[in-house]
Amino acid sequence: MNKTIQLQDLGLQDYKQTWELQEELFKGIVDLKIRNRREELDLATPNFFLFVEHPHVYTLGKSGDLDNLLLSEKQLEAKGATFYKINRGGDITYHGPGQIVGYPILDLENFFTDIHKYLRFLEEAIILTLQEYGLSCGRSEGETGVWLGVGTPFARKICAMGVRASRWVTMHGFALNVNADLGYFDNIIPCGIRGKAVTSLQVELGVEKVNEAEVKHKIIKHLTILFEAQFEETFIKE
């Protein structure tokens, strides 16, 4: 079992370009697993974790409803945003500058074979990170992601999640609003959930700007403990 995770920060990168990279890494792991089984080999499968920030983009999961996008093609263009239907779970979400997006491309057979546990661990890493900033946050029953004010009229989502898994290999991941322009969420029904707001770390802390590199390091610290993994931090882009 290979518990080393190769970490790379891609900086600001186009969504489609990053999606293609994810698919390439994902396919490489799956192909190696198939080869191992066919040829009775025991070659270690790699694990990857990508940090990235996207230009304005809306993505719709395979089970999502297109009606949750409230913009026409022309309006999207006017806002400088793009739109993609993709192969993760979940409904519609927004990615943009000031948002930390994490894409784990892991062979879960290196860790544990339980998708629900995997999702809970991703949520837990974000919850523990936000707690370091003094925020009280948690899960909302039946809704993936991380929330503040659960059980109150002021429930608001700070981190969205959507994953794909095949042969225990994962892709896609989470999007944490840190310094994001929350106005872009007004153009969708986020995750298909009506009547609930979104927020950011910047808004919750009431500061001009949050240090995103610091947030990333905290996330990796908690993922390392939860997954009992070792991240190759030389791949981090400072």
Residue 78's Cβ-count burial label (10 Å; 0-12, 13-18, 19+) is exposed
Contacts for 108-114: CB closer than 8 Å, 24+ residues apart:
108/165, 108/168, 108/169, 108/170, 109/1, 109/33, 109/45, 109/168, 110/1, 110/2, 110/3, 110/45, 110/47, 111/1, 111/3, 111/227, 111/228, 111/229, 113/168
Is 159 known to be catalytic?
A: no
Annotated active-site residue in 60, 191, 201, 215: 191
Evaluate whether 98 touches 158 at the Cβ level (below 8 Å): no
**Rounded Cα–Cα distance for residues 129 and 159 (Å):** 12
Binding residues: 88-95, 160-162, 173-175
Query: Which phi and psi angles does 40 have, rounded to 5°?
Result: 55, 50
Strand partners, 175: 101, 160
Rounded to a whole number, what is the largest CA-CA distance in the chain?
57
Binding residues for substrate: 88-95, 160-162, 173-175
**Rounded Cα–Cα distance for residues 120 and 77 (Å):** 36
Q: Among residues 51, 48, 70, which one has the least CA distance to residue 60?
A: 70
Q: Which residues are catalytic?
A: 191
